[in-house]
Amino acid sequence: MAKPSKKLAEEPGIGHNSQVSGTRIKSFVGKIERLEEQKHSIGLDIKDVYTEAKSAGFDAPTIRKLVSERKKSAEKRQEQYSLFELYSAAIGMA
């Protein structure tokens, strides 16, 4: 995948590829576009799951928060919480 060259070198690999290989660039761009499409597609799937959860009577933002909190390390979460508490207390918020 990394070195498909068969014949003579299409690009010298020198400096900034002054004689640019359009073929090679197209290949990279194509790969990236395919991957980005897949990525986007999965994003849609995730959205679907939230929709499904909502249909089942759950609150989507809360689920989202749940996922987010689980992703954070426990320490980090605790740290953020403490900080918020500290500031809240400082300005007299309940």
Partner DNA sequence: TGCATATTACACACCC
Partner DNA sequence: GGGTGTGTAATATGCA
Q: Render the burial of 28-57: b for 16+ CB within 10 Å, e for the rest.
A: eeeeeeeeeeeeeeeeeeeeeeeeeeeeee
Is the CB of 31 or the CB of 40 nearer to DNA? 40
34: amino acid identity, one letter = R
Q: Which residues fall within 8 angstroms of residue 19, CB to CB, at 6 or more apart?
A: 11, 12
Of the ranges 1-9, 17-25, 62-70, which one interacts with DNA (CB under 7 A)? 62-70
Of the ranges 5-13, 14-22, 23-31, 42-50, which one interacts with DNA (CB under 7 A)? 42-50
Does residue 68 interact with DNA by CB under 7 A? yes
1: amino acid identity, one letter = M
Residues that bind its own copies (CB under 8 A): 1-2, 11-18, 20-22, 24-26, 28-29, 31-33, 35-36, 38-39, 42-43, 45-46, 49-50, 52-53, 55-59, 61-63, 65-67, 69-71, 74, 80, 83-84, 86-94
